[in-house]
Amino acid sequence: MSLHGYRAALAASEERFQLAVSGATAGLWDWNPQSGEVYFSPHFKGIMGYADHELPNEGRAHLDAVHPDDIGRVKQGLDMHLRERRPYDVEYRLRTKSGGFRWVQSRGQALWDDAGEPYRMVGWIMDITDRKRDEQALRVSREELRRLSAHIQRIREEEKARIARELHDDLGQQLTALKMAVTLVEHKGSNRAAPPLSQGDLRGMYAMIDQLIDSVRRIAADLRPVMLDDLGLIPAIEWLASDFSARYQVKVIRHIDVDAIEFNRECRIEVFRMVQEALTNVARHSGATEVVLDIVRRDPHCIVRVVDNGRGAAARDSRPGRHSFGLIGMRERAALLGGEIQIRTTPGSGFELTAILPLAAVEARE
Ligand SMILES: Nc1ncnc2c1ncn2[C@@H]1O[C@H](COP(=O)(O)OP(=O)(O)O)[C@@H](O)[C@H]1O
Ligand SMILES: [Mg+2]
């Protein structure tokens, strides 16, 4: 090739390079490890928030901006590549002009001379902040679900233990007493010397049987409010609210569209449990004197809202925490129905919890 030909080829190659550099979504860098000289493409500087002329073409300009927790990995990665020729591919945080950090992925390739000394290393960085954020959100949500499922297992075991205890202590004891009463009757019937059977004996046994029936009802209602299936959601909620008012001396003002919504079986229990948990939270955390409970139809949604006039909470407290599963559980229940939970609260000014549920799911035929 003639000299002219070489020049033309070089110019074309350089032009291609410039085009690639200016069009690339990656920021390019070209570094001479011997002289320390470095070239950053405008896009490289752009990722760091600088205009082309604002960031000097010096290695330090980049290394000084690497997050202190990541700089060790970056330096080690470079070292391993230059000395042992291991692939250079590192993810780290870079401080931008505004002082915030962005995540980048950096890859590069060195060239070595005959003596095995690296004389050039070229590479690119790519902004992966969004991906990192998604990964982080996914990790948090996975962790939350894992804790929730562990919690559910634990609750199940505790529930079983509680029911077993109630059956044993409550029903077991009453049945034992009843058996003793029956034995006494038998003794009186077969032993002429014993005092005769009286009305009182039988009345005592009837009273025990009534008590037994009550206990069975109470234990069953605790497991699943029978009312929910027999009378429907609204009467069950009315009962819940009255019971709550009586127990905690908190007024519950109700705005309920009776008959406006046909709650199906599945969502009855979900809505009932949500309101139950919300009221439990009011009793536990709020110190409120008044609660407003709305269950209303706002096509295409069913709105369930519990607002108290208590002390409220800092935003961080009502975010799902390590040991509080009430709100997480409510979110899960709402999500199950294709809806969501919204919380509005500031310290000192009450707590407002709203479940927004699509009527399509709430009223769906089973
Ligand atoms: N009505 C309320 N008033 C004030 N703070 C509340 C209320 N409801 C919930 N919170 C705050 O939200 C947190 C999380 O609630 P929750 O998930 O039900 O957990 P738990 O009731 O087990 O603490 C509570 O610990 C409390 O700080
Ligand atoms: Mg709670």
CATH number for the domain harbouring residue 279 = 3.30.565.10
**Contact, 29 vs 62, CB < 8 A?**
yes
- Quote the pLDDT of residue 105: 95
The whole-number pLDDT of residue 11 equals 75
Helix axes 199-223, 129-166, angle to 10 degrees: 170
Statement to judge: residues 234 and 340 lie in one domain:
yes
Question: What is the rounded distance in angstroms from the CA atom of residue 361 to the CA atom of residue 263?
Answer: 9
Assign 3-class secondary structure to 243-309.
Answer: HHHHHHCCEEEEEECCCCCCCCHHHHHHHHHHHHHHHHHHHHHHCCCEEEEEEEEECCEEEEEEEEC
The pLDDT score that the predictor gives to residue 366 is 75
**Residue 38 token pair:** 């470095």
Q: Is the CB of 326 under 6 A from ligand 1?
A: yes
CB 304 within 8 A of CB 355: yes
Residue nearest to atom 20 of ligand 1 (CA): 324
Q: 123-136 pLDDT, tens per residue?
A: 999 999 999 999 99
Decide if pLDDT at 264 tops 70.
Answer: yes
Q: How far is the CA of 322 from the centre of ligand 1 (A)?
A: 12
C-alpha of residue 285 to centroid of ligand 1, in Å: 6
Domain count across the chain = 3
Banded pLDDT at 319 (limits 50, 70, 90): low
Top mutation candidate among 281, 309, 325 for ligand 1, by most atoms within 8 Å of CB: 281
Do residue 341 and residue 265 come from a single domain? yes
Select from 223, 239, 257 the last residue of a domain: 223
Tens of pLDDT, residues 233-263: 999 999 899 989 999 999 999 999 888 999 9
Q: What are phi and psi of 192, to 5 degrees?
A: -65, -30
Strands 290-298 and 251-256: parallel
Query: Residue 323 — pLDDT band, cuts 50, 70, 90?
Result: low
Query: What mean pLDDT is predicted for residues 99-112?
Result: 95
How remote is the CA of residue 25 from the centroid of ligand 2, in Å? 48
Q: Which atom of ligand 1 is nearest to the CA of 282?
A: 1
Domain encompassing residue 109: 3-127
Q: Which two tokens stand for residue 175?
A: 């049945």
Asked if residue 231 and residue 211 are part of one domain, the reply reads: no
Nearest to residue 308, comparing CAs of 275, 351, 278? 351
Regarding the beta carbon of 285 and ligand 1, being less than 6 Å apart is answered yes
pLDDT exceeds cutoff 70 at 363: yes
Task: Determine if ligand 1 sits within 6 Å of the CB of residue 350.
Answer: no
Nearest Cα to 314, choosing from 285, 292, 290? Answer: 285
- Is 158 in the same domain as 103? no
Residue 320 has pLDDT above 70, yes or no: no
Domain boundary among 223, 246, 263: 223
251 shares its domain with 155:
no
**Does any ligand 1 atom lie closer than 6 A to the CB of residue 41?**
no
pLDDT in tens, 284-302: 999 999 999 999 999 999 9
Give the Cα separation of 170 and 181 in Å (integer).
Answer: 17
Phi, psi of 109 (to 5 degrees): -140, 130
The last residue of one of the domains, among 63, 98, 127, is: 127
pLDDT at 359: 96
Ligand 1: centre distance to CA 261 (Å):
28
Which of ligand 1's atoms lies nearest the C-alpha of 329?
17
Residues 79 and 133 in one domain: no
The strand order across the sheet containing 118-127 reads 38-40, 27-31, 118-127, 101-112, 88-95
Mean pLDDT of 78-102: 96
Asked if the model's pLDDT at residue 324 lies above 80, the reply is: no
Any idea which ligand is nearest the CA of 283? 1
CATH of the domain at 79: 3.30.450.20
Q: How far is the CA of 68 from the centre of ligand 1 (A)?
A: 37
Cα(74)–Cα(112) distance, integer angstroms:
20
Q: 199-223 and 173-190 are packed helices; what angle lies between their axes, rounded to 10 degrees? A: 160
330 Cα to the center of ligand 2, angstroms: 10
- Ligand that comes closest to the CA of residue 329: 1
